[in-house]
């Protein structure tokens, strides 16, 4: 495996929003935001193939990216600001003051570009030089940091670090697509996109006072009265490997048909709840992970997020976090059994169907569960194919590869739209070397088995 290739930092610059009538802006956190207050930032990389030489990159690409970023930040002022928690305040706020800027690092690297965007196993630390970071103090932390790295004559990458207490994946995707669109249209937003952020926080109702419960959980963690904004320490193991796996639409349909067949055999009827591609994908990954990590703890957990915007009649362009979670529990022996995938699909589908009984039911317990469930027994799903990150085109074509690198710390599995489109799902996994090798074998053999069974059932 190739060793990490250090980058040459060409410039550490600051990009300010283009001038507007708004000199300052502050937003309160909602309970959706507070949940993520001290969790590590999201860090993602976009790779673009382009045969730019150093001079072309400096004279054409960078000016276009900087100008379009400044224009985009005018719409997204909070991203140029900071999360602030003063000692005399009960809760943090998001604050932009005129003069605030976003850190943009410009770098160059001779690393193997095509190795980095391959689907083979790669050491997670190989990506660290191309990612920016958010430097947090007790009272202040930036919301966003960016890095653009040139790989001469082959391509470039754009990396971001975002504070999860300020924006979720939906908002991040909206920002990136706005920036890309403005770059692609030479400073103007594509008129077909409606991506102006909605900032009104009064639309978020909190009858159960979840904000207080979540703040209390964080204040008492490593407390008492721990108001520090320093991120929760969650160091990744030094030997983490990243791998990319794909489920085609055909793979998903094969597993779905097999699951429905198993259900009918057991219950003599079709499933009462429609089986979604998300449920199929998450269940299949869950079973493969339990087997690969040899989790024999009897009870294992799966956490997945739910976008609440449509369910709570909140505009799709709402800026901030608007997601909640379901945490499922299953018997590890059942999941590794012959019908493990079907059992997992039913558990996930039941949880999704149960959202109609109360979207935020049990939400007051999420912080305590987060801080108490042992990391090795809880698996989580991050991201969504609906974000369509592969369509982020700055004017040099669609992304060749998109990687959510921060899963090496969270242990989450990332879901992404397939670059090839047509209903496939790309899965990002970060595991120890022996675990990812086991996962790859289980993932491939399981698909082959379901293909054989599907063919047999229809013969």
Tens of pLDDT, residue by residue over 188-225, are 655 555 678 999 999 999 999 999 999 988 888 777 77
240-457 adopts what CATH topology? Chloramphenicol Acetyltransferase (3.30.559)
420: CB partners within 8 A, 6+ apart: none
From 112, 206, 331, 393, active-site residue:
393
Tens of pLDDT, residue by residue over 280-316, are 999 999 999 999 988 776 788 899 999 999 999 999 9
Q: Cα separations (Å) of 20 from 14, 76, 98, 145, 415? A: 18, 12, 10, 21, 37
Residue pair 218/37 in contact by the 8 Å Cβ criterion: yes
From 164, 168, 301, 450, active-site residue:
164
Mean pLDDT computed over every residue of the chain:
88
**365 by DSSP, 3-state: which?**
helix
90 in catalytic set? no
Other beta carbons less than 10 A from residue 110's beta carbon: 12
Asked whether residue 436 carries a pLDDT value surpassing 70, the answer given is yes
Read off the pLDDT band of 268 (50, 70, 90).
Answer: low
Start-end of CATH 3.30.559.10 domains in the chain: 8-220, 240-457
The DSSP element (H or E) to which 367 belongs, if any, is helix 366-372
Asked whether residue 1 carries a pLDDT value surpassing 60, the answer given is no
Q: Which CATH superfamily is domain 8-220 in?
A: Chloramphenicol acetyltransferase-like domain (3.30.559.10)
pTM: 0.92
164 in catalytic set? yes
Asked whether residue 373 carries a pLDDT value surpassing 70, the answer given is no
């Amino acid at each position: 495996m190739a060793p990490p290739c250090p980058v040459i930092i060409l410039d550490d610059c600051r990009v300010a929003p283009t001038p507007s009538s708004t000199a300052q802006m502050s937003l309160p956190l909602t309970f959706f935001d507070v949940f993520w207050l001290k969790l590590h930032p999201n860090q993602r990389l976009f790779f673009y193939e382009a045969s730019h030489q150093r001079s072309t990159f400096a004279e054409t690409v960078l000016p276009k990216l900087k100008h379009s970023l400044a224009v985009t930040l005018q719409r997204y002022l909070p991203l140029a600001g900071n999360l602030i928690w003063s000692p005399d305040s009960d809760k943090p706020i998001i604050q932009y003051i005129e003069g605030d800027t976003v850190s943009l690092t410009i770098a160059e690297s001779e690393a193997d570009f095509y190795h980095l965007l391959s689907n083979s196993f790669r050491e997670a630390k190989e990506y660290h030089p191309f990612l920016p970071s958010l430097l947090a103090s007790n009272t202040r932390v930036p919301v966003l940091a960016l890095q653009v790295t040139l790989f001469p004559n082959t391509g470039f990458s754009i990396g971001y670090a975002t504070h999860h207490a300020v924006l979720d994946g939906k908002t991040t995707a909206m920002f990136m697509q706005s920036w890309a669109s403005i770059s692609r249209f030479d400073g103007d937003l594509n008129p077909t996109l409606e991506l102006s952020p909605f900032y009104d926080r009064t639309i978020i109702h909190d009858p159960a006072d979840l904000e207080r419960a979540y703040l209390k959980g964080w204040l008492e963690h490593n407390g008492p009265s721990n108001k520090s904004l320093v991120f929760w320490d969650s160091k990744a193991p030094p030997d983490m490997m990243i791998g990319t796996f794909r489920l085609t639409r055909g793979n998903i349909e094969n597993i779905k048909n097999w699951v429905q067949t198993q259900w009918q055999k057991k219950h003599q009827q079709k499933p009462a709840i429609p089986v979604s591609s998300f449920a199929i994908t998450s269940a299949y990954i869950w079973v493969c992970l339990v087997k690969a990590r040899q989790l024999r703890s009897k009870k294992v957990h799966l956490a997945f997020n739910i976008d609440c915007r449509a369910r709570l009649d909140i505009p799709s362009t709402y800026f901030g976090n608007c997601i909640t979670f379901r945490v499922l529990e299953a018997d590890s022996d059942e999941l590794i059994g012959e019908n493990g995938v079907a059992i997992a699909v039913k558990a996930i589908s039941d949880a999704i169907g149960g959202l109609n009984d109360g979207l935020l039911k049990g939400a007051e317990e999420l912080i305590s569960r987060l801080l108490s469930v042992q990391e090795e027994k809880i698996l989580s799903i991050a991201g969504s194919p609906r974000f369509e990150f592969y369509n982020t085109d700055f004017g040099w074509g669609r992304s060749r590869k998109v990687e959510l690198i921060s899963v090496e710390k969270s242990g989450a599995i990332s879901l992404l739209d397939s670059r090839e489109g047509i209903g496939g799902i790309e899965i990002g996994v970060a595991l120890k070397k022996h675990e990812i090798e086991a996962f790859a074998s289980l993932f491939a053999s399981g698909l082959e088995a379901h293909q054989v069974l599907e063919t047999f059932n229809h013969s």
